[in-house]
Chains A and B, each alone.
Chain A
Amino acid sequence: MVKYTLRRLLQAIPTFFGITLLTYMLMLAAPGDPVSLLTFGPSTTQAQRDALAAKLGVNDPAVIQYLRWLTGDDWMRRDTDGDGLSDQCIILACDADGDGVNEQPGDRRGIIRGDFGRSFTKPRNVVDMILERVPATFELGFISLAVGVLVGVPIGILAAVRRGSWFDSVTRIGAVVFSSIPIFWLGLILILLFGRVLFPDVSPNPFMMGGQCPPVLVGGCPPIQGRLVYLVLPVFVLASQGVAVFSRYMRASMLDVMQQDYMRTAYSKGLSGRTTWFKHGARNALIPIATFLGPSITGVLGGAVLTETIFSWPGLGRLGFESVVQQDFPVVMAFVIIGSLATILGYLLSDILYALIDPRIRFN
């Protein structure tokens, strides 16, 4: 078990490496450069721009820039005598701009040590900006995923047990319908329905048309049980996709299980239909569902971008979208890499979970 987990972790390393390489290449290929973004003021002289360019290393070869971004530059330029200037340099030149004075020692620790640099648009560390948005997205994503599983799985089981009944047809059509609805449009329609049609003159609206909690000056949001109404619409929008996916897979998996020999054995020894379906069938049919939990994290994160934008939810998705619009590259990079890490972790967990609950899988 430990060996299997370790091997899967090792396999994740080249993937992570590929992701950093891909995002960095995209960033390099993008038009516009960070120096002109940072020194926008007309009073900036060319010499100041050159000094900043040397400090940021934008004229270095791409490989070195990538290495610097990935691993940091605090080990590339070090200050051993305490005069505030670098004197031990590897890979990078100590005096990069050629003015006779050595550059300041490196202070970046690189993304593998959790340093994503500073935002272009706000005077803040990217990591802090990301971390303060994670709880809101986690809250929305986790609840939506839970609703998706808790509603989708029973629907799938019942549909399979009553194959060909009206319940089966209705839920199957429902699943295709909900996976064809654009979720941002569903959000708009819900706002229209609850805001304009059902409660046009009620203020505040009982379903709260956006935000995570009532606006306050200090203290932040109350604990989750105090603001459940804010969650209803966004969770409905985000979970609708999950319900569609999980009910479909659960139905297929359950139909598969119902043809197994052990099910026939259970029937023939006189067990009731209910015991057979739920104790023998559903528990086995649930096993493959574990593998869909990982991929569904991607869906939740992508859906979060749209849902959070529509419902003004202060989460990671909205931060990412806003940073994309403002071309705040350090935040965008962090957003993509952290989203990918969550996805890799999700796949890893669902593989391990699968191996853990299915005794037929051997770890070799």
Chain B
Amino acid sequence: MATRVTTTSVAKIGVPDEAHEHRKPDSLTSRALRRLRRDKLTLVALAVLSLLVLFALLAPAFETWLNISYTDVQTDKTFLPYGSFPHILGTDDLGRDHFARLLYGARVSLSIAALAAGLSLVIGVALGMVTGYYGGIIDDLNNWFIATLTSIPSLFLLLIVSALFIRTSTGSGVVPLILVLGLLGWTGTARLVRGETLSLRERDYVVAARSMGAGAARIMFIHILPNLFSVIIISLMIDIGSLILVEAALSFLGLGVKPPEPTWGNMLQAAREYFTRGVHLVIMPGVLIFTTVLCLYVIGDGLRDAFDPTSKD
């Protein structure tokens, strides 16, 4: 935007500026992408995360290739250490392959976090945009509700909700957990989007659209939503990261996903019970949680820098 203005004003005065004349005016997104391509740390994080997702997706292929299974109980092969071929990461208290369970755990943990983050994103963006745009009584009500929700320590709230609704549900508890995490996790996004919308709705192009008769829905979807893109994508990355931690904590306490469905959190819960016999089972689930969350936080930070209009090229 700024570049474009300078170019035209320079051209009007008639002083040719080589550097500006040959450069196409960039959009914020193309500038952000260019910066991202030079940000090595973010690229490494992106690569590690993609590798992890790829491994999780290929879990069944690994099973057939190594002739292992994440569900097969082998009572004669419990607590095998690392490197006991074909169980490259050993076996757990029931003789199930640790590597395969980690891969399937990745599928469950990542999809819970991603779907819950998606759900809270939709709620947060919708509420934030509507309350920021209209203001007034709905804004006050929404603010009161957010203040209430955030005054309850989030783990306390999750503890009671999951004790009431997940423990009593039949099945593995994956779907209720996604709903609970998604329905309780939107407050941060809503606040952020509301703030952005408050400033966006006063911009000249929004005023112009309104003066030409655009309705509220059109302004919100065509003029405001695209400008929220960077805010949304950054908070999505950070949210998925913190939701992985929350899911792991809940499953570790036995209030999240129920065994035998593996997640990194409930694998650690089982490992804690057999602490003295299966030390190797404590290491990897934690390392994977930590790596994934770290990558997501680094990507989130990298995106924030890349989209920051005040940072230099």
Contacts and interface: CB of A to CB of B under 8 A. Distances in A.
Interface stretch (A25-33, A55-63, A76-84, A119-127): A25-33
Given A182-B245, A182-B249, A302-B154, A324 B282 contact: no
B160 A23 contact: yes
Interface string B143-174: 01101111111111101110111001000000
Interface in B283-313: 283, 285-286, 289-290, 293-294, 297-298, 301
B255 A302 contact: no
A32 B163 CA distance: 12
Nearest to B255: A324
A176 B294 contact: yes
Interface string B174-209: 000000000000000000000000000000000000
A301 interface: yes
- In this complex, the member of B149, B155, B282 whose beta carbon has the largest number of chain A beta carbons within 10 angstroms is B155
A305 B289 contact: no
Given A26-B161, A182-B248, A324-B255, A340 B153 contact: yes
B155 A18 contact: no
Given A196-B279, A306-B249, A321-B253, A180 B156 contact: no
A192 B298 CA distance: 28
Interface residues of B, number: 44
B148 A182 contact: no
A320 B144 contact: no
A228 B255 CA distance: 32
Interface string A15-43: 11011001100110111100000000000
Interface in B253-269: 253-255, 268
Contacts of B255: 324-325
B70 interface: no
Interface stretch (A183-191, A271-279, A351-359): A183-191
Nearest to A188: B282
B139 to A, nearest CB: 15
B168 to A, nearest CB: 5
A15 B151 CA distance: 8
Contact of B151 (A19, A177, A302, A321): A19
A320 B286 contact: no
A18 B153 contact: no
Contacts of B289: 182, 185
Contacts of A306: 155, 249, 252-253
B290 A182 contact: yes
B253 A320 contact: no
Given A177-B294, A184-B268, A192-B282, A15 B144 contact: yes
B272 interface: yes
* Secondary structure call for the A interface: helix
Contacts of B301: 176
A29 B165 CA distance: 9
A165 interface: no
Contact of A321 (B147, B148, B149, B159): B159
Interface stretch (A45-53, A143-151, A331-339): A331-339
B241 interface: yes
Nearest to A345: B151
B148 A15 contact: yes
Contacts of A332: 160, 163
Given A176-B294, A302-B155, A15 B147 contact: yes
B287 to A, nearest CB: 9
A301 B253 contact: no
Interface in B75-124: none
Contacts of A181: 286, 290
Nearest to B41: A173
A337 to B, nearest CB: 9
Nearest to B286: A185
A343 B163 contact: no
Contacts of B159: 305, 320-321, 324
Given A189-B282, A320-B156, A336-B157, A19 B253 contact: no
A192 B279 contact: yes
B268 A343 contact: no
Given A15-B148, A309-B253, A324-B163, A301 B153 contact: yes
A29 B157 CA distance: 15
Contacts of A305: 155-156, 159, 253
A301 B152 CA distance: 10
A179 interface: yes
Given A14-B144, A185-B289, A324-B255, A336 B249 contact: no
Contacts of A179: 297
B80 to A, nearest CB: 19
B284 to A, nearest CB: 11
Interface of B: 144-145, 147-157, 159-161, 163-165, 168, 241, 245, 248-249, 252-255, 268, 271-272, 275, 279, 282-283, 285-286, 289-290, 293-294, 297-298, 301
Q: Please provide the 10 A-B residue pairs with the shortest distance between their CB atoms, ordered closest to farther.
A: A18-B148, A302-B155, A185-B286, A180-B293, A180-B294, A30-B164, A324-B163, A301-B153, A298-B153, A340-B152
9 contacts: A18-B148, A23-B160, A30-B164, A179-B297, A180-B293, A180-B294, A182-B290, A336-B157, A336-B160
Given A22-B148, A305-B155, 14 more contacts: A18-B148, A19-B151, A26-B161, A29-B164, A31-B164, A176-B294, A180-B294, A182-B293, A189-B283, A192-B282, A305-B159, A306-B155, A324-B163, A339-B152
